[in-house]
Structures are given as C-alpha cells and as structure tokens.
Structure 1
Amino acid sequence: MRELVFALAYKPGCNRVADALADHPDARVRSLSLHATAERLWRVDHATGTPDALDAIEDAFFTCDYYADCLATEDCGATQTTRVLDRTDDTLVLYADWKRTSSCTSVPHIARDHLGDAVLFETRHEGRHYTWRLIHSGDGDVPSFFDALEVAVGECAQMEMLRTADTGTAAGGRDGTSSGLPAAQEAALQAAVEHGYYESPREVDVGELAEHLDVPRSTLTYRLRRAEEQLAKQHVDGGRAAEERLASY
C-alpha cells in the first residue's frame, strides 16, 4: 500500500470553507468518514472552533456552490444534501451527500480514475490549506493523478506535496531528511529556530518570520503546525518503543 499526502492552498474566493476558516484561524475541520463512487460522494466532517466560526463553517457547507469538494469553478448542476448531525458550543458534525453531474470533478473522483477504486481518504482543513491523505494500492498512475488534479484545480489553489511513501515506512527518515519532514516544513522549522521563534520570550513573531521567508503568514503557520505535529508524534512513539524494549528485558 502507498500513502500520498498533499495540500491545496486555496486563494480567496475559490472555496467557501477555506474562506470561512481563514477568517477564524483557530477553527479546524477534519473528516470522520469520506466515500466516493463514480456517481456520488458522501462524507461526515467534525469541525471545532468558536460559535461564530462554526456558524461560518456551517453556512459554507450549506451554500449551494460548495458541493462537498466539487472542483468545478462554475455551477455544475450537482445536487447535495447536508445535515447537521451534532452541534455544541465548540464542535459541529456535518453530513454531506453529493450527486455529481458530468461537469463535476473532485479529488476522490480523480483518484478513482487514476489510482483505482480502492482508495481511502482522510482530510484536514485549516485556514486556506486543505490537506488530503490518500491510501491506495500502489498500482495506479500517480503522476497522471497529480496532472489531472492540477488541471482541475486551475488557478484556484496551489498544490504542495507533503509525503509519498509505503504505508509501512517508519516515521523518521522520509524525503531525505533526518526528521522525515517535507522540505518546506523542514525549512520553515529551521528558520523558526534560527530566528528565535521558539525562544522565550520570542525574538520574532510569525508575521515577521513569514516576511523574512517571503511566504504568506497562513502558509508558514500551516507548515510549522504540521512539522510540530509530526515531531511530537515521533517523540511520543519513540518513547513508547523505548518503554516496550525495556519491558521486554
């Protein structure tokens, strides 16, 4: 089995969910379940944030031009049913069922065309960055998948490759770095350390660091968060492995 992880960084006005999350930087949306056939797509998503953020996210999902991941830039005539399954002060669970038309396309449908039917999907949406994790058999045509995806996305988003590996690959050592981080995240983390971002008190804030690196603030924040998440998981997994080794003596 093979793993593909990539992010789509949406420009303003191109994705209603991305716009809502960009206005509420502390909010998140992650998929609990995502399935696609040739004709349909249905998913359950879990959102967290303030009440105002959840209102904005809910409105984006219920807006008729969103269509649960359709990449068409104009009205494609699809039909969608969206329901709120649960809502609290800081969480929102949404169900969306989307019936596509001949002019519709999406990441899952492009994946089915080029990677085969047996593909698993996991998503996370933060700010303008929409991160996809795909697990597939490895028998498909990955370059053709990304070529088709790039055409479908067009000028609406920039695509950033984060990881491609066998699912059995260890967490460390991916992509030629000792940490296993993608090159962009490695560079962001190194710059943050060198410029005192992690000092207490901080010698530079994220806005100043983003300006120094000549990247959008939201992009730098996203890369640092993903790098910190992966390193934290590696640390915890390493500690558990050490405990298991000691217990076996």
Structure 2
Amino acid sequence: MREFVFALSYDPGTNPVADVLAENPDASIRSLSCHVTEESLWRVDYATGSADALAELESAYRDATYCADCLVRDHCGADCEVQILHRCPDELVVYTYWDRTDVCTSVPHVALEELGDGIIFETYREARRYRWRLILTSDAPLSAFFDTLEDEVGACAGMEVLRLTEVDPDGSHPAQRDRLSPEQRAALDAAVEHGYYETPREIDLDTLADRLDVPRSTLSYRLRRAEATLATDFVDRESSLTPTVSHP
C-alpha cells in the first residue's frame, strides 16, 4: 500500500468554502468520512473555529452553486443535499451528498476512474489550501490519475505533490526524510513552514536565511541537496509517476 498526499490551492472566488476559510484563519475542516461511487459522492466533515466563522461555513456549504468537492466552476446542475449533524459554538459537523450529472467531477471520482475502488480518502482544509491523503495499492497508476486531475482542476486551483511513500507499519523501510542530514531536514522544514515553496513564494531565500541565522549560500546548498535526495528517491521508487517527454 502507498500513501499519496497532495494539495489543491483555490484562487479567490472559485470555491466558497475556501473563501470563508481564507477570511477566517482560526477555522479548519477535516474529513470524518468520504465515499464515492460512479453516480454519487457523500462525506462527513468536522469544522472548528469561531462561531462567526462556522456560521459563514454553514452558509457556504448551503450555497446553491456549491457541491462538496465538485471541480466544475459553473453550476453543474447536481442535486446536492446538506445536513448539519452537530453544531456548538466552536464545532460543526456537516453531511453532504450529491448525485453526479454528466458534467460533474471531483477528486474522488477521478481517483475511482483512474485508480479503481478500495481507496481511502482523508482531507484537511485551512485557508485556501485543501490537502488530500489517499491510501491505495502500490501498483496504482498515479501518473494517469494526476494528469487527469490536473486537466479537471483547470485554472481554478494550483496543485502540489506533498508526499508519496509506502505504508509501512513495521517501519522496516526508512522514510525518505531519514536520508537527509539534520541540517537539511531543518532547512526543509523551515522552508515549508514559512511558505518558500508556495506559489507565489511567501518568503525569499535571503529572508529565510536571516531567520535561520545561516549564510544564504549555506541554506541554498542544504535545500538543493535535500531536494535532490527526495527527488531521486521519488523517481527511483515511483517510476509510474515519471512523465513521458516528447521531443520535437
């Protein structure tokens, strides 16, 4: 089994839930369950935040143009159902269900079509970032899945691969990060934390080096070595993700 983690980053005005989360940094949403068939999708989400943020989230969920996870920007015509299962001042549990139309698509539907059934989905949302964690078989064709998903997402959101590893409960295979030196891990952690890998970048290399109190050249070298190690492991272990390049 493999764990595949990636994130979507929604542009303003393309997703009402993302807009609310971006305006309320104290709020976040994680999935309690997510299920998909060829014809439908249903899920239960757990949201936390201030009372005002949760009220705005509930309104966004009930927006007539919004169906949870549907990637179609225009109204897709799907019949969407929203039910509030639990509400208190700082918690909200929401059930959503929709029947798919001819134009509807979503991350779970693309996964079902490209990777087959039996996939476990876990999601976490904060601000405009929507992180997906998939547990799937080791031979699943992830390259085809990611290419198709990129086409479906289109211009409404950015996409970023965060992690691809073997699910190894016995710990017999070292994680990719274990091959990094402590200095490289620290540099990589800081770069991610401060938004160096965001698009657009939230911090430049000079500022990050100042925060870490290391020379810019040293930080640049540590990041390059860490990126090279992770990229090499990624390609070596996951050849199914290697794109086919056509040369004129």
Q: Distance in 2 between matches of 1:88 and 1:99?
A: 29
Question: Which residue in the other structure is 2:54 paired with?
Answer: 54
What one-letter code is carried by the residue in structure 2 that aligns with 1:73?
R
5 Å-filtered alignment, 1:193-232, equals: 210-212=202-204
SS in 1 for 2:95: strand
Deviations 1:195-218 (A, max 9, x none): xxxxxxxxxxxxxx934359xxxx
User: What TM-score comes out, normalization by structure 2 length?
Assistant: 0.73
Q: Using the TM superposition, give the Cα deviation of residue 176 of structure 1 relative to its aligned residue in structure 2, in angstroms.
A: 7.2
Pairing partner for 1:174 from 158, 173, 176: 176
Tell me the distance in 1 between the aligned counterparts of 2:166 and 2:115.
Answer: 15
Corresponding residue of 2:13: 13
Give the superposition deviation at 1:174.
2.0
Contact 2:25 2:126 in 1 (8 A): yes
The runs of 4+ residues in structure 1 deviating greater than 6 Å are: none
The change in CA–CA distance for 1:153 and 1:49 in structure 2 (over 3 A counts) is: same
Secondary structure in structure 2 of the residue aligned to 1:118: coil
CA distance in 2 between partners of 1:129 and 1:63 (Å): 20
Q: 97-106 or 166-175: which moved more? A: 166-175
Show structure 1 runs of 5+ residues with no match.
194-208, 215-249
Cα separation, 1, equivalents of 2:120 and 2:146? 17
Cα RMSD between the aligned structures?
2.6
The residue type equivalent to 2:163 in the other structure is R
C-alpha distance in 2 between matches for 1:27 and 1:191: 20
Offset from partner CA, 1:156-192 (integer Å, 9 cap, x none) = 1111111111111749632675389xx9x95361587
Determine if the alignment matches structure 1 residue 189 to structure 2 residue 158. Answer: no
Structure 2: where are the runs of 5+ without partners?
Answer: 195-200, 207-248
Change (3 A) 1:20 1:190: closer
Q: Percent identity?
A: 47
Give yes or no for contact 1:173–1:179 (8 Å, CA) kept in 2: no
More off after superposition, 72-81 vs 169-178: 169-178
Aligned length: 196
Amino acid at match of 1:49: G
Letter in 1 for 2:109: H
Q: Are the equivalent residues in 2 in contact too, given 1:172–1:178 (CA < 8 A)?
A: no
How much has 1:53 moved relative to structure 2?
0.5
Verify the 8 A CA contact 1:27 1:50 in the aligned structure 2.
yes
